[in-house]
């Protein structure tokens, strides 16, 4: 879905400041965006009405762009692939049409514009390598005239943390409950079209109650609640979180990629531990392609990025072969539930 307000926008100049209560509310919403205002109020020592008011202000100001369900695509038979492109920016109209086409493509998850080694990163869902190969041709076929360079990658593993330094550094205690969760863990679960429709709705607005969802789907709210619990227990839904406007919070996005000459499993565990402790890293992807590991980071100052890279190189000097940093110029498209998932 084309973002009216980009998650990242290097040209953004208007910034909103958050007070401590705002940050605490965002902390809990990022951990579980379906958490009730009543529960947040108890944790942050505010009234329910105050929490509700602040949340609606987040939406009104464009600080929180949406709440959504995070999906385990592999359990639905899909894997993430990346297409990296350098394009001919002199053909502005064709580039604009290209982005618009990506926005409506049923397999596209996100589209990021860089101001560096690559111009575009397109993340798509495909069932296998052959499916992905056909997908690349279907996406790029009509835009061959603007494509100057191309590379492809497959995502092996992702570690996500949808937060930002000021929130991560709060380190608030206590678990965030989920009224839809269940202690019973399920194995493989076959979803029907109603399940997928619920998943699509939750990917657009995770805060919708089962009562509201029942107005859109021919099921009772109890049946919808049971299906959500089933998808959580099976791991199809990994959780619920919020999409933030990082630029509005005065953060710039970067990607730090590196290749490893001989990373062992023990090194990988140390690396993941390092990531969990760093307030700046919000996503890590283990890849097969040009780069082994890709870190997505947010910082307010370039000095923070410089310190992060230096510290990383110092701690992992024995395994880092080479690296690059890319500047995220703008994120055009974010669609956590591509239409391909609805196909029989």
| DSSP secondary structure letters along 186-254 | -------HHHHHHHHHHHH-TT--HHHHHTTSSS-HHHHHHHHHHHHHTTSEEEEEEEE-TGGGT-EEE
The phi, psi pair for 122, rounded to 5°, reads -115, 120
How deeply is 171 buried, as exposed, middle or buried, from its count of CB atoms within 10 A (0-12, 13-18, 19+)? exposed
Name every residue whose Cβ is closer than 8 Å to that of residue 110 and which is 6 or more positions away in sequence.
121, 122, 123, 331, 333, 334, 335
| Count of other CB atoms within 10 angstroms of residue 69 | 26
Q: What are the Cα distances from residue 160, in Å, to 141, 148, 212, 332? A: 32, 31, 29, 20
Convert 183-205 to b/e letters by CB count within 10 Å (16 or more is b).
eeeeeeeebeeebbbbbbbbbbe
Q: For residues 223 and 145, what is the distance between their CA atoms, to the nearest angstrom? A: 51
DSSP 322: E
The pLDDT, as a whole number, for residue 179 is: 56
Name every residue whose Cβ is closer than 8 Å to that of residue 274 and which is 6 or more positions away in sequence.
312, 315, 316
Full pLDDT tens readout for the chain, 344 residues: 555 566 777 676 677 889 999 999 999 999 999 999 999 999 999 999 999 999 999 999 999 999 999 999 999 999 999 999 999 999 999 999 999 999 999 999 999 999 878 999 999 999 999 999 999 999 998 899 999 999 999 999 888 877 788 888 887 765 666 655 555 555 567 899 999 999 999 999 999 999 999 999 999 999 999 999 999 999 999 999 999 998 888 899 999 988 887 777 787 788 878 877 788 888 888 888 888 888 899 999 989 999 988 888 888 887 888 889 999 999 989 999 999 999 86
The pLDDT, as a whole number, for residue 5 is: 62
Axis crossing angle, helix 302-315 with helix 265-277, rounded to the nearest 10: 150
Name every residue whose Cβ is closer than 8 Å to that of residue 13 and which is 6 or more positions away in sequence.
none
Q: Are 157 and 79 in contact (CB under 8 A)?
A: no
**Strand 147-160 to 79-87 pairing:** antiparallel
Sign of the dihedral defined by the CA atoms of residues 249, 251, 252, 257, in that order = negative
Q: Are 155 and 286 in contact (CB under 8 A)?
A: yes
Q: For residues 248 and 15, what is the distance between their CA atoms, to the nearest angstrom? A: 5
Q: Are 323 and 55 in contact (CB under 8 A)?
A: no
Q: Are 245 and 62 in contact (CB under 8 A)?
A: yes
The pLDDT, as a whole number, for residue 187 is: 59
Name every residue whose Cβ is closer than 8 Å to that of residue 23 and which is 6 or more positions away in sequence.
166, 167, 170
| Count of other CB atoms within 10 angstroms of residue 220 | 12
The pLDDT, as a whole number, for residue 273 is: 80
Q: Are 16 and 63 in contact (CB under 8 A)?
A: yes
Name every residue whose Cβ is closer than 8 Å to that of residue 143 and which is 6 or more positions away in sequence.
94, 97, 98, 101
The pLDDT, as a whole number, for residue 100 is: 92
């Amino acid at each position: 879905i084309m973002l009216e307000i980009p998650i990242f926008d290097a040209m953004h100049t208007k910034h909103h400041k958050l007070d401590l209560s705002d940050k605490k509310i965002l902390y809990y919403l990022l951990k579980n965006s379906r958490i009730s205002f009543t529960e947040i109020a108890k944790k942050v020592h505010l009234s329910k009405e105050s929490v509700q008011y602040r949340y609606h202000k987040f939406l009104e100001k464009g600080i929180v762009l949406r709440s959504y369900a995070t999906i385990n695509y592999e359990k639905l038979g899909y894997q993430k692939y990346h297409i990296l492109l350098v394009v001919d920016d002199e053909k502005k109209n064709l580039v604009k049409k290209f982005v618009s086409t990506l926005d409506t493509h049923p397999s596209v998850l996100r589209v990021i514009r860089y101001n560096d080694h690559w111009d575009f990163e397109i993340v798509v869902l495909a069932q296998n390598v052959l499916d992905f190969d056909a997908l690349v041709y279907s996406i790029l076929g009509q835009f061959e005239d603007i494509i100057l360079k191309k590379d492809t990658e497959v995502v092996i593993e992702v570690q996500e943390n949808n937060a930002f330094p000021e929130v991560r550094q709060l380190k608030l205690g206590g678990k965030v409950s989920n009224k839809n969760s269940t202690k019973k863990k399920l194995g493989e679960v076959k979803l029907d079209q109603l399940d997928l429709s619920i998943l699509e709705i939750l990917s657009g607005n995770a805060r919708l109650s089962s009562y509201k969802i029942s107005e859109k789907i021919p099921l009772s709210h109890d049946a919808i609640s049971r299906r959500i619990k089933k998808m959580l227990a099976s791991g199809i839904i990994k959780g619920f979180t919020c999409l933030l406007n990082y630029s509005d919070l005065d953060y710039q996005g970067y990607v730090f990629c590196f290749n490893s000459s001989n990373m062992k499993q023990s090194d990988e565990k140390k690396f993941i531990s390092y990531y969990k402790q760093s307030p700046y890293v919000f996503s890590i992807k283990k890849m097969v392609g040009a780069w082994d590991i890709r870190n997505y980071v947010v910082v307010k100052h370039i000095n923070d990025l410089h310190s992060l890279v230096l510290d990383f190189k110092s701690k992992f000097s024995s395994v880092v072969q080479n690296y690059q940093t890319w500047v995220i110029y703008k994120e055009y498209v974010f669609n956590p539930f591509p239409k391909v998932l609805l196909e029989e």
